[in-house]
Structure 1
Amino acid sequence: MTFSVVARCAETGQLGIAISSSSIAVGARCPWLRPGVGAVASQNITLPSLGPQLLDLLEQGLAPSEALATLVEQDHSHYRQVTVIDSQGRTAHFSGAQTLGIHHALSGEQCVAAGNMLADAGVIAAMVRAFEMATGPLAERLLAAMQAGQAEGGEAGPVHSAALVVVDDLLWPIVNLRVDWADEDPIGALDQLWQAYRPQLQAYIDRALNPQIAPGYAVPGDER
């Protein structure tokens, strides 16, 4: 059903998640991030509330492993697959006994990847390797990991949705891109969205923080 990578950039402190699924609108339910705190992917038989609950525990000072241990005994945890990273780059993961199909989770340097209903367990190791070897902005490294997972076989069946979310030190995500449904290659469509958004990213931040120095909007009524 789903494979994902949750990661931190050691240079910027940014936190991010890239995720894809055979289900519709995976970005609406599974990725949860809080600037300066951590990031959580809640997948398989998804319980969205695990995301904010785990982030609350991280914010209270618990390590990812401690936070995850607090929740995995609750609410049908044997159906859940969860990955966590905190603002220090510490990771944890959990896959319940009822996780679907071939499944695997693996921590790497500043990242943790997981998936279920996989074509092969090696998908996750390929994602971790790709993230660790990639360079550039965190968003691009996350996409490189997803592309490597897909090249290794990805899900056992077709995937239809994908999402990419990155937070920095602002209250809102600096990247929040979603492909809620595609008949083919939502990861490729997500990468196209990122390539279009990347050159505009800083301008949107500038517009929010100081409209007076922001680039012109090139719309009727903008006389700058």
Structure 2
Amino acid sequence: MTFSLVARCEETGMFGLAISSSSPAVAARCSYARAGVGAVASQNVTDPTLGPLALDLMQGGMSAAEAIAGVKDLGKFIEYRQVLAVDKNGNTAIHSGPNSLGIWTQAMAQNVASGGNLLANDGVPQAIVDGFLSSTGHIGDRLIAAMRAGLAAGGEAGPVHSAGMKIVDKVAWPVADLRCDWSEDCPIKNIATAWEVYKPQLDAYIQRALDPREAPSYGVPGDQ
């Protein structure tokens, strides 16, 4: 019911992930990232505890592969789970349990990993990885490009209805956390539109948190 990617920007050290599904609010259950540590997608028959577990293991010094091995050892009903991870060095790892749904597969490269289940075909994750690697610019732009590539390659077997994109940088909170929890239209398009609006304001929102004395006004009523 899901296809996703986790990624690291080699230039900035930012982590991000993007995800889409026929199920509602997929990003609320499946997307996890921690600045300076990594990004994790926990999907298929979802166990939301596995994302924080993998991040904790990587924060403790494990590589992505070691963290995924730890998830397999410590997680319950792991044969139903699909978990993707990228670590602070750009190493990637994926576990796809044999009880993943429908057509399921995965693809990995340095700094990016993609996986999916109930896919239209088994080439979707590789198309997502290729879409990320062939794109340039801000990691948010590259995540959107990768998801569009996956959609163009066939995406999920049925229509997708929710999507999300999360980005972390040097602060303790996500610098972008955009979600479309349900749409009869394309939720990836909705996320892309939200990113176009949010991207120019991203740094200003960080500044508002760190030192509001230097924060810009957006010119809306009451914000002077």
Instruction: Place the TM-score, normalised by the shorter chain, in its bin.
Output: over 0.9
What secondary structure, in the 3-state scheme, does the structure 1 residue paired with 2:185 have? coil
CA–CA distance in 2 between the matches of 1:221 and 1:142? 34
| Map of 1:67 onto structure 2 | 67
| Map of 1:103 onto structure 2 | 104
Deviations 1:148-184 (A, max 9, x none): 0000100000100000000001011111100000012
Instruction: Name the count of aligned residue pairs.
Output: 223
| TM-fit CA distance, 1:109 | 2.8
| TM-fit CA distance, 1:70 | 1.7
| TM-fit CA distance, 1:21 | 0.5
Q: Runs of 5+ in structure 2 lacking a partner?
A: none
| Map of 2:58 onto structure 1 | 58
What secondary structure, in the 3-state scheme, does the structure 2 residue paired with 1:178 have? strand
Letter in 1 for 2:136: T
| Map of 1:13 onto structure 2 | 13
| Map of 1:47 onto structure 2 | 47
Check conservation: 2:91, 2:110, Cα contact below 8 A.
Answer: no
CA–CA distance in 2 between the matches of 1:116 and 1:215? 43
CA–CA distance in 2 between the matches of 1:71 and 1:34? 17
| Map of 1:131 onto structure 2 | 132
| Map of 2:145 onto structure 1 | 144
With over 3 angstroms needed to count, the CA separation of the structure-2 counterparts of 1:123 and 1:222, relative to structure 1, is: closer
Deviations 1:156-214 (A, max 9, x none): 00100000000001011111100000012000011000001111111111111121111
| TM-fit CA distance, 1:222 | 4.0
CA–CA distance in 2 between the matches of 1:48 and 1:188? 25
CA–CA distance in 1 between the matches of 2:209 and 2:48? 29
With over 3 angstroms needed to count, the CA separation of the structure-2 counterparts of 1:222 and 1:18, relative to structure 1, is: closer
What secondary structure, in the 3-state scheme, does the structure 2 residue paired with 1:112 have? strand
Q: Runs of 5+ in structure 1 lacking a partner?
A: none
Deviations 1:78-117 (A, max 9, x none): 0000000011101100100100000111111310000000
Q: TM-score, length-normalised on structure 2?
A: 0.97
Letter in 1 for 2:148: Q
Letter in 1 for 2:176: V
Q: TM-score, length-normalised on structure 1?
A: 0.97
- Large movers: runs of 4+ above 2 Å: 217-223
| Map of 2:178 onto structure 1 | 177
Letter in 2 for 1:184: D
